[in-house]
């Protein structure tokens, strides 16, 4: 019976396999560190295959380089012996929800999701640590033997979370940030669907590096633009006071995502309501309504969304319109006399002629679709109705009051517990604009307070869709943050610690995110009881499998019995099930039911897509009952069979009753 791998995928081996598909002649054999034969790439032969497409040695080329890039490549590809353990008591609707909250290092989380969500994610939003000189960024290492050294040197927390302070005095100030981001973006790209979108919030410190890094990972034409977010009024910086941030967009494949991104203009309800009021006051005196509208628009600042439509200041029987240019696109396009409907005089013609031929213009005048001035001395205009132009392409400049998101979050918690949360309503609108819809998955690997996850529920609430989310957040300790926090941030962090203590919960950023989802779930469920407002909590942990590798000369007779079981003490059957789901590449949100068959606990996953029995005593009766269900896959605990004969017998039972079932053991 074949054994499951029970580690994250080896992405280097995967890349070798892809090269083998394209160029089978360049694959040879080598020996790994343990003396095992492995496939390897003969780069001399590969160079011949690519001939003049290889850039040699120091030859000049366009590239982004930094100290530590080679190690970042390794960090992205190296497999890890970790798993995701389910936490039912912290979840909501664990058995039915399609949403995930993963607590742990996001690089490890991304590695563990590689096979289950390969090419499945529609949108990845990230708000990574801004490289301000005070933030902590991840320092990735996979050398388990150095764990104690790293803890003593302060490079990891007592819980083993790898952190390093990247101050502006550090000579690798930008390099450390790039090394942290590079492997995460590489893994993120694997998860994105072909038409997927990466959306990144960033400030000026790493804005240029982010674009260069994104195009290196996603391709030279992946960068498609950015939104400049005006969200500050500070004026105390040297040289230039930065009052904005960026939201940068990359697409995985332009052919699959042509960029027909549109959004509904903001403030339309206010405009329509105002014009209805003008009509009640002035009736059909369109000139009076036009004057009232112009006066009304003056009451809005440039940052108010209503001001973006202030040119729509006219009205007729059809509705609100903008008197737009009616001139021809080319010089002398159409030239003829157009009489004014009131004076009968010939109207002044645009310098380049009319846009429409004479018969079409006559029809448009008859239908009331041409805006005339009080007499023929002014050039007529086209009527462009607001009802026909309610949508627009995503605009590159936004005014967003950052205090609004903070107030909404404080209202949810009852007090301010998080500094500068991202605006969940802005993110909701971005999701809608780029086409996140029914069944799509949104991933946030720096989920923080959970704004991007909450935004998915807000999208579903307003659109009727059922998009899903995956959030990943490391258990960053708030008490450590409190040591360096100042001013308002110190008070907010203190509030968060007290709030979590009152619930008996750990003082971490991940816990803030989970509590936000709990509160938002209750609120949204009150508005839409049938909507999926649950989330399944999983935690990154060491593998469920014990290290039982021993050499004969280093193993005593009395130790043999203790090495029979390959599962770590304290790990549950459900822990094992989730590691199997990851190893088999199944989504970890699949529905799971539990039955007792012949006295053994059996998991049935996604209508018999997988049956799993981790009983310590797997009887032939249990095996036969499961084989009769004819599942696609079946997995057992290897030590659950009384002998090798019992395990072989189980395989034979499946071959007889369900030959198509893929049977494996852990």
Distance CA(485)–CA(493), nearest Å, equals 8
What would the pLDDT profile of 245-272 be if each residue is shown by its tens digit? 999 999 999 999 999 999 999 899 999 9
Mean model confidence pLDDT for the chain: 87
Question: Would the pLDDT of 309 be above 80?
Answer: yes
Across 200-216, b (16+ Cβ under 10 Å) vs e yields bbbeebbeebbbbbbbb
CB 370 within 8 Å of CB 326: yes
In this structure, the number of other CB atoms found within 10 A of the CB of residue 454 comes to 30
- β-strand partners of 392: 263
Residues 526 and 407 in one domain: yes
Question: Would the pLDDT of 148 be above 50?
Answer: no
The pair of three-digit structure tokens given for residue 21, joined into one six-digit string: 């598909």
- β-strand partners of 327: 354
Q: What's the pLDDT at 71? A: 87
Point out the domain boundary residue: 355, 389, 423: 389
Rg (Cα) of the chain, in Å, rounded?
31
Q: Which DSSP state fits 103?
A: E
CB 422 within 8 Å of CB 451: yes
Residue 251 lies inside a defined structural domain of this protein: no
Q: What's the pLDDT at 146? A: 38
- Considering its fold, how many domains does the chain have in total? 4
What would the pLDDT profile of 530-587 be if each residue is shown by its tens digit? 999 999 999 999 999 886 554 445 545 554 444 456 789 999 999 999 999 999 999 9
Point out the domain boundary residue: 365, 389, 413: 389
Which residue is associated with the tokens 């579903």? Answer: 460
Cβ neighbours of residue 282 under 8 Å, at least 6 residues apart?
A: 288, 289, 292
Residues 577 and 488 in one domain: no
Which residue is associated with the tokens 């936004």? Answer: 398
Residues 416 and 521 in one domain: yes
Point out the domain boundary residue: 513, 542, 571: 542
Distance CA(490)–CA(481), nearest Å, equals 8
Residue 86 lies inside a defined structural domain of this protein: no
CB 356 within 8 Å of CB 364: yes
CB 576 within 8 Å of CB 665: no
Q: Which residue did the predictor score with more confidence, 532 or 50?
A: 532
Q: Give the residue from 175, 176, 231 showing the smallest Cα distance to 202.
A: 231
Distance CA(405)–CA(391), nearest Å, equals 24
What would the pLDDT profile of 222-244 be if each residue is shown by its tens digit? 999 999 998 776 777 778 888 88
What would the pLDDT profile of 471-485 be if each residue is shown by its tens digit? 999 999 999 888 888
CB 469 within 8 Å of CB 453: yes
What would the pLDDT profile of 410-459 be if each residue is shown by its tens digit? 999 999 999 989 999 999 999 999 999 999 999 999 999 999 999 999 99
Question: Would the pLDDT of 199 be above 50?
Answer: yes
* Average pLDDT score over residue span 32-48: 72
Give the H/E segment covering residue 44.
helix 43-50
CB 460 within 8 Å of CB 467: yes
Distance CA(243)–CA(31), nearest Å, equals 56
Q: Give the residue from 241, 217, 221, 229 showing the smallest Cα distance to 127.
A: 229
Residue 615 lies inside a defined structural domain of this protein: yes
Question: Would the pLDDT of 612 be above 70?
Answer: yes
656 in helix, strand or coil?
A: helix
The pair of three-digit structure tokens given for residue 540, joined into one six-digit string: 């990154």
Which residue is associated with the tokens 């329509």? Answer: 272
Q: What's the pLDDT at 398? A: 87
299 in helix, strand or coil?
A: coil
Residues 385 and 465 in one domain: no
Interstrand relation of 100-103 and 468-473 (parallel, antiparallel or unpaired): parallel
The pair of three-digit structure tokens given for residue 298, joined into one six-digit string: 């003056």
Residue 84 lies inside a defined structural domain of this protein: no
Q: Give the residue from 474, 637, 413 showing the smallest Cα distance to 108.
A: 474
Residues 372 and 472 in one domain: no
Q: What's the pLDDT at 33? A: 65
Q: What's the pLDDT at 633? A: 96
Residues 563 and 616 in one domain: yes
Distance CA(286)–CA(284), nearest Å, equals 5
Beta strands (DSSP E) in 445-544 are 468-473, 536-542
Residues 561 and 533 in one domain: no
Residues 449 and 534 in one domain: yes
The pair of three-digit structure tokens given for residue 4, joined into one six-digit string: 């499951």
Distance CA(27)–CA(45), nearest Å, equals 9
Q: Give the residue from 263, 127, 118 showing the smallest Cα distance to 196.
A: 118
Q: Sorting pLDDT into bands at 50, 70 and 90, what band is 159?
A: low
Residue 394 lies inside a defined structural domain of this protein: no
Q: Give the residue from 319, 277, 269, 283 showing the smallest Cα distance to 295.
A: 277
Question: Would the pLDDT of 68 be above 70?
Answer: yes
Instruction: Write the DSSP string, 356-383.
Output: S-HHHHHHHHHTT-EE--SSTTS--EEE
Residues 515 and 557 in one domain: no
Residues 515 and 469 in one domain: yes
- β-strand partners of 30: 38
Phi then psi for 281, rounded to 5 degrees?
A: -80, -40
Distance CA(104)–CA(509), nearest Å, equals 11
Residue 657 lies inside a defined structural domain of this protein: yes
Question: Would the pLDDT of 401 be above 60?
Answer: yes
The pair of three-digit structure tokens given for residue 83, joined into one six-digit string: 């798993």
Query: What strands lie across the sheet with 244-251, from one edge to the other?
Result: 82-86, 536-542, 100-103, 468-473, 441-444, 121-126, 192-202, 244-251, 223-230, 397-399
Q: Which DSSP state fits 219?
A: -
Residue 493 lies inside a defined structural domain of this protein: yes
Residues 423 and 329 in one domain: no
Q: What's the pLDDT at 469? A: 98
Q: Sorting pLDDT into bands at 50, 70 and 90, what band is 141?
A: very low
Q: What's the pLDDT at 548? A: 54
Question: Would the pLDDT of 17 be above 60?
Answer: yes
What's the domain range around 653?
552-665
Q: Give the residue from 472, 470, 666, 468 showing the smallest Cα distance to 577.
A: 666
Query: What strands lie across the sheet with 319-324, from one edge to the other?
Result: 314-316, 319-324, 381-385, 370-371
Q: Which range, 97-106, 153-162, 477-486, is most confident?
A: 97-106
- Helix, strand, coil percentages (3-state) for the chain, rounded to 5, are 40, 20, 40
Distance CA(548)–CA(328), nearest Å, equals 81
Q: What's the pLDDT at 594? A: 93
Distance CA(52)–CA(67), nearest Å, equals 28
The pair of three-digit structure tokens given for residue 235, joined into one six-digit string: 């004026």
Q: What's the pLDDT at 151? A: 47
137 in helix, strand or coil?
A: strand
CA 172 to mean position of chain CA atoms? 28
Q: Sorting pLDDT into bands at 50, 70 and 90, what band is 136?
A: very low
59: left (phi over 0), alpha (psi -120 to 50) or beta: beta
202 in helix, strand or coil?
A: strand
Residue 464 lies inside a defined structural domain of this protein: yes
Question: Would the pLDDT of 492 be above 90?
Answer: yes
Q: What's the pLDDT at 445? A: 95
Q: What's the pLDDT at 273? A: 97
Residues 424 and 486 in one domain: yes
């Amino acid at each position: 019976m074949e054994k499951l791998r029970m580690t994250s995928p080896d992405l280097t081996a995967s890349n070798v396999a892809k090269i083998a598909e394209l160029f089978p002649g360049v694959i040879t054999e080598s020996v790994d560190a343990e003396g095992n034969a492995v496939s390897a790439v003969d780069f001399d032969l590969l160079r011949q295959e690519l001939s003049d497409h290889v850039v040699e040695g120091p030859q000049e080329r366009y590239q982004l380089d930094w100290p530590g890039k080679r190690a970042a490549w390794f960090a992205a590809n190296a497999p890890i012996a970790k798993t995701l353990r389910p936490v039912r008591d912290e979840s909501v609707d664990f058995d039915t929800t399609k949403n995930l909250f993963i607590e742990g290092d996001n690089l490890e989380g991304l590695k563990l999701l590689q096979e289950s969500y390969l090419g499945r994610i529609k949108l990845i939003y990230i708000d990574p640590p801004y490289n301000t000189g005070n933030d902590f960024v991840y320092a990735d290492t996979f050398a388990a033997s150095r764990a104690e050294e790293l803890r003593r040197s302060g490079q990891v927390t007592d819980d083993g979370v790898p952190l390093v302070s990247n101050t502006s005095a550090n000579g690798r100030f930008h390099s450390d940030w790039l090394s942290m981001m590079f492997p995460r973006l590489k893994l993120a790209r694997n998860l994105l669907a072909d038409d997927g979108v990466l959306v990144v919030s960033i400030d000026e410190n790493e804005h240029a590096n982010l674009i260069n890094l994104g195009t290196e990972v996603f391709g030279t034409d992946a960068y498609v633009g950015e939104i400049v977010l005006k969200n500050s009024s500070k004026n105390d910086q040297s040289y230039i006071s930065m009052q904005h941030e960026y939201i940068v967009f990359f697409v995985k494949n332009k052919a699959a995502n042509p960029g027909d991104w549109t959004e509904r203009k903001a403030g339309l309800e206010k405009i329509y309501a105002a014009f209805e009021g003008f009509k009640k006051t002035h009736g059909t005196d369109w000139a009076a309504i036009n004057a009232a509208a112009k006066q009304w628009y003056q009451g809005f600042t440039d940052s108010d969304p209503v001001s973006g439509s202030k040119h729509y200041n006219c009205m007729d029987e059809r509705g609100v319109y903008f008197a737009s240019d009616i001139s021809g696109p080319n010089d002398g396009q159409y030239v003829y006399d157009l009489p004014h409907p009131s004076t009968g005089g010939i109207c002044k013609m645009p310098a380049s002629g009319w846009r429409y031929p004479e018969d079409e213009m006559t029809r448009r005048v008859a239908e009331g679709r041409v805006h005339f001035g009080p007499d023929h001395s002014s050039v007529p205009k086209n009527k462009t109705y607001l009802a026909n132009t309610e949508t627009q392409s995503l605009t590159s400049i936004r005014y967003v009051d950052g205090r609004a998101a903070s107030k909404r979050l404080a209202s949810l918690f009852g007090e301010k517990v998080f500094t500068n949360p991202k605006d969940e309503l802005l993110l909701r609108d971005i999701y809608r604009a780029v086409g996140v819809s029914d069944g799509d998955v949104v991933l946030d690997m720096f989920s923080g307070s959970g704004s991007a996850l909450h935004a998915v529920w807000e999208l579903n609430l307003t659109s009727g869709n059922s998009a899903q989310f995956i959030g990943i957040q490391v258990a960053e300790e708030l008490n450590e943050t409190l040591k360096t926090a100042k001013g308002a941030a110190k008070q907010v962090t203190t509030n968060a610690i007290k709030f979590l203590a009152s619930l008996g919960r750990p003082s971490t950023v991940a816990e803030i995110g989970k509590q936000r989802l709990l509160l938002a779930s209750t609120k949204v469920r009150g508005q839409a009881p049938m909507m999926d407002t649950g989330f399944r909590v999983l935690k990154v942990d060491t593998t469920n499998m014990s290290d039982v590798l021993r050499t004969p000369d280093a193993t005593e007779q009395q130790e043999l019995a203790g090495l029979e079981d390959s599962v770590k003490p304290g790990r549950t059957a459900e822990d094992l099930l989730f590691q199997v789901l990851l190893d088999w590449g199944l989504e970890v949100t699949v529905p799971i039911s539990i039955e007792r068959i012949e006295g053994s606990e059996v998991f049935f996953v996604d209508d018999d897509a997988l049956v799993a029995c981790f009983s310590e005593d797997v009887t032939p009766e249990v095996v036969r009952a499961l084989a009769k269900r004819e599942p696609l896959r079946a997995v057992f605990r290897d030590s659950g069979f009384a002998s090798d004969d019992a395990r072989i017998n189980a395989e034979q039972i499946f071959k007889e009753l369900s030959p198509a079932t893929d049977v494996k053991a852990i």
